[in-house]
Chain A
Amino acid sequence: MYRQGMQQVVMTLALFCAVVVAEPVVAATRLYDQLGGEVGVVAIVDQFLFKLADDKRINHFFVDTNVKRFREKLIEQFCALSGGPCTYTGDSMQQSHAGMDINLAAFNALVEDLIEAMEQCKVATGAQNRLLALLAPMHQDIIEKP
């Protein structure tokens, strides 16, 4: 019975591969280009800021934020992370979130706002996930309580 189960698992994996191959293959370009270069990153950050401002779960964290600077540093950060021609000149994630008492729920809400911003900017699923994968490790410097 176990062997039969394994056979079926293998068959299903083969089916996955068929599905995967049928998906449009993304050219091996920089993530920065997949995000739409400078114009794309700026559009994503702007949408993201609109989402954050509207998000009642977390917008209280940003009442004292200098939005102009925050926007600049976010654009820099996304650009640099995705392999674009920028250098991040802002504070470390630890410094910029110190004392804000951010929990996992707030972090999750922010990630969701970013995903929705990228959806709105028509960023391809693979590129969305790649940017999220680069940002996700920052959780350990941002979340203060579990």
Chain B
Amino acid sequence: MNRQKIAHVLVGLWLVLLAPGAAAWNAAALVPNNSRILATGGATQIEGQAGGGIVPWAVLAGYGSSGEVGGSGFYTHVELKDYSLEAFGAAVSFDNRMELSLARQEFDLGTLGRALGVPDKELRQNIFGLKLRLYGDLIYGVLPQFAFGVQYKHNLDFGIPAAVGARHDSDADFYLSAAKLWLAGPLGRNVFANITLRHTRANQGGLLGFGGDRGDSREVMFESALGFFITRHIAVGAEYRQQPHKLGFSPQSDWFDAFVGLFPGKHVALVAAYADLGTVATLPEQRGWYLSLQVAF
């Protein structure tokens, strides 16, 4: 019951923050002036927050700088050997200080669903996100930009996760993140790096529930991203995301992606990636492609 209370508090907090956010938008006259530099809102990662593909970064969604409002919407499709994942949602950021996001993930069980003959053909979850910029700026200053983030996740299909040993159908991930862009790195190109430390017990990012027969406590997981801007419109990079291993029925691999991000302008971004999620729910070598479209302001 205790964790349910925490869940209610977290969703409540998210909803409560929406009001002052919207009020600040009006009262403090936050304007959608798009002042931040191209690509500094990142893409939208699969949990709906500003980031890369699989890792949330310390940057906030959209292009709102101080005294401004920004936001983004996204649709992502990941096609793996035996599964596919769709994710979509929206985020809004206020004063380049606070980002609120909502996302839905729909994971198609494909091969495994047919093999198990289970009634559920997909695993879905909703994700409420909150991110606060704690300190610093991505570009200016010696230190990186730091952010604290929460992702509250709620499974809509808990039958399979429960059957394979997951303990909870909802939970929150907490993380600290640091991001820095270095102007004129190698060959005069701008270089980006991000490190995220996530406190989590989510199985496959939460799609297979939270906690399990191998443990119910959260662990600190390491996530990172490295990017290189060939021009200001084209970035190439890679990401790594360590995963906890709470379910005995299957190994849980760390995730990896290599991406090309296209930023033709501030209102649209496209990311194409190669993703390797390793073994997912007993099926090995889950590699494939990742495509994400973002609209932003």
Q: Do A and B bind each other?
A: yes
Asked if residues B35 and A2 are in contact (CB atoms below 8 Å), the reply is no
Residues of A contacting B: mostly: helix
CA distance A9 to B236 in the complex (A): 13
Of A109, A128, A130, A140, the residue contacting B33 (CB under 8 A) is: A109
CA distance A104 to B139 in the complex (A): 11
Nearest residue, chain A, Cβ from B233: A125
Residue B137 CB within 8 A of the other chain:
yes
Asked if residues A19 and B137 are in contact (CB atoms below 8 Å), the reply is no
Asked if residues A125 and B33 are in contact (CB atoms below 8 Å), the reply is no
Asked if residues A19 and B184 are in contact (CB atoms below 8 Å), the reply is no
Number of interface residues of A (CB under 8 A): 40
Asked if residues B67 and A103 are in contact (CB atoms below 8 Å), the reply is yes
Residue B214 CB within 8 A of the other chain:
no
Residue B9 CB within 8 A of the other chain:
no
Q: A9-B240, A125-B232 are in contact. Are A132 and B66 (CB under 8 A)?
A: no
Q: How close is A115's CB to chain B, nearest CB, in angstroms?
A: 7
Task: Kindly name the residue among B36, B183, B230, B278 whose own CB sees the greatest number of chain A CB atoms within 10 A.
Answer: B183
Residue A100 CB within 8 A of the other chain:
no
Interface residues of A in 67-105 (CB under 8 A from B): 103-105
Q: Mark A110-146, 1 if CB is under 8 A from B, else 0.
A: 0110010000000011111110110010011000011
Asked if residues B254 and A1 are in contact (CB atoms below 8 Å), the reply is yes
Asked if residues A136 and B37 are in contact (CB atoms below 8 Å), the reply is no
Of A9, A23, A104, A115, the residue contacting B230 (CB under 8 A) is: A23
Of A15, A108, A140, the residue contacting B65 (CB under 8 A) is: A108
Nearest residue, chain B, Cβ from A25: B187
Asked if residues A109 and B35 are in contact (CB atoms below 8 Å), the reply is yes
Asked if residues B188 and A146 are in contact (CB atoms below 8 Å), the reply is no
Asked if residues A108 and B240 are in contact (CB atoms below 8 Å), the reply is no
Asked if residues B230 and A5 are in contact (CB atoms below 8 Å), the reply is no
Asked if residues B278 and A4 are in contact (CB atoms below 8 Å), the reply is yes
CA distance A132 to B251 in the complex (A): 47
CA distance A127 to B184 in the complex (A): 8
Asked if residues A105 and B35 are in contact (CB atoms below 8 Å), the reply is yes
Residue A59 CB within 8 A of the other chain:
no
Of A103, A108, A133, the residue contacting B37 (CB under 8 A) is: A108
CA distance A119 to B278 in the complex (A): 42
Residue B186 CB within 8 A of the other chain:
yes
Of B38, B139, B240, the residue contacting A5 (CB under 8 A) is: B240
CA distance A20 to B251 in the complex (A): 37
Q: Mark B237-274, 1 if CB is under 8 A from A, else 0.
A: 01010110000000111101010000000000000000
B contact residues around A50 at 8 Å (CB): none
Q: A108-B35, A133-B183, A139-B140 are in contact. Are A1 and B253 (CB under 8 A)?
A: yes
Residue A43 CB within 8 A of the other chain:
no
CA distance A18 to B238 in the complex (A): 15
Asked if residues A126 and B251 are in contact (CB atoms below 8 Å), the reply is no
Task: Kindly name the residue among B65, B242, B276 whose own CB sees the greatest number of chain A CB atoms within 10 A.
Answer: B65
CA distance A16 to B187 in the complex (A): 12
Nearest 7 pairs of A and B residues by beta carbon: A126-B188, A105-B65, A133-B183, A129-B184, A12-B238, A133-B184, A105-B35
A-B contact pairs, 13 of them (CB 8 A): A9-B240, A20-B187, A23-B230, A103-B65, A104-B65, A108-B35, A109-B65, A115-B37, A124-B188, A125-B189, A128-B232, A136-B140, A139-B140
Given contacts A12-B258, A125-B232, A140-B140, 17 further A-B contacts (CB under 8 A): A5-B254, A8-B240, A9-B238, A13-B238, A16-B228, A16-B236, A20-B186, A25-B187, A103-B66, A104-B65, A104-B66, A125-B188, A125-B189, A129-B188, A129-B190, A136-B139, A146-B66
